[in-house]
């Protein structure tokens, strides 16, 4: 069984109560759940919460909800707690709760490698960077990968370093710099192995938990997508998401 799990932590340090933030009259977590529900491959979709208010709101719009402890350190750990309670689950999809406009097709693109290649145990999405702002932002995680589309490294710094480029614009035009979209697909046993490992040196330095996998030799298959996603981490991001909804989503719902 392919199970999608959306971790939703209430006490975000940069945006308190983030899952319940209003976007176009709906809480953000509802937008994420509704869009993830459009995936063709997911057979079950669950929201993993750590707060009673979020639990009740998610229940009210029809989601299946699991309550998890508040002191869980990461989204991966939170989904692992839920996955352990679903014996029939074989593939687990970690869908970020703060990406309200995620496309169901993106989820399916990330799942496909595990369906067609038994050697693939983890997959994720990347998209080519087209703006200097994204390339320079430490909030936008960059990734380099090999000729077989396995990740070599993730960083908050622009990678690869385009030595011959004279301008930032030339860097993104000639360097093929990719950003990481934080959607992960795990075989269940790999998820359990990953979350049992202690944080590693590079993970601590970059504050990126996917580096724990690479440092322990867990290969991550990279899928290049043409779809984009908008992550909401700060009040500024929330305002951008609200404007995006008003400009692009709301008109579609009226027609």
Q: How far is CA 16 from CA 9, 19, 77, 147, 191, in A?
A: 9, 9, 20, 41, 28
Give the dihedral sign, CA 211/212/214/218.
negative
Per-residue pLDDT of the chain (255 residues; tens, 9 = 90+): 999 999 999 988 789 999 999 999 999 999 999 999 999 999 999 999 999 999 999 999 999 999 999 999 899 999 999 999 999 999 999 999 999 999 999 999 999 999 999 999 999 999 999 999 999 999 899 999 999 999 999 999 999 999 999 999 999 999 999 999 999 999 999 999 999 999 999 999 999 999 999 999 999 999 999 999 899 989 999 999 999 999 999 887 776
Report strand pairing: 91-94 vs 26-27: unpaired
Task: Give pTM, 2 decimals.
Answer: 0.96
Q: Which two tokens stand for residue 84?
A: 């352990």
Nearest-CA neighbor of 39 among 68, 5, 8, 77? 5
Domains recognised in the chain with CATH numbers:
2-125+181-254 (3.90.550.10)
Taking the alpha carbons at both ends of the chain, their separation in whole angstroms is 36
Please check whether residue 63 is in contact with residue 27, taking contact to mean a CB–CB distance below 8 angstroms: no
Q: Which two tokens stand for residue 97?
A: 């709760």
């Amino acid at each position: 069984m392919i199970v999608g799990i959306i971790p939703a932590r209430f006490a975000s340090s940069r945006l308190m109560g983030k899952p319940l933030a209003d976007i176009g009259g709906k809480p953000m977590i509802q937008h994420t759940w509704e869009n993830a529900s459009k995936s063709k491959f997911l057979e079950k979709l669950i929201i993993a919460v750590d707060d009673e208010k979020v639990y009740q709101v998610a229940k009210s719009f029809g989601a299946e909800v699991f309550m998890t402890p508040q002191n869980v350190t990461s989204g991966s750990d939170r989904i692992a707690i839920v996955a352990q309670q679903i014996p029939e689950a074989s593939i687990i999809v970690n869908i970020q709760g703060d990406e309200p406009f995620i496309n169901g097709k993106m989820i399916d693109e990330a799942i496909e490698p595990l369906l067609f290649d038994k050697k693939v145990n983890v997959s994720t999405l990347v998209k080519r960077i087209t703006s200097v702002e994204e390339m320079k932002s430490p909030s936008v995680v960059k990734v380099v990968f090999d000729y077989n589309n396995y990740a070599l490294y993730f960083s908050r710094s622009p990678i690869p370093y385009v030595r011959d480029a004279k301008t930032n614009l030339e860097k993104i035009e000639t360097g093929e710099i990719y950003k990481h979209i934080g959607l992960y697909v795990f075989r269940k046993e790999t998820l359990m192995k990953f979350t049992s490992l202690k944080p590693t040196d590079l993970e601590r330095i970059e504050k990126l938990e996917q580096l724990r996998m690479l440092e322990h030799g867990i290969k991550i298959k990279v899928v290049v997508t043409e779809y984009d996603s908008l992550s909401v981490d700060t009040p500024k991001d929330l305002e951008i998401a609200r404007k995006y909804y008003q400009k692009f989503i709301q008109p579609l719902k009226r027609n």
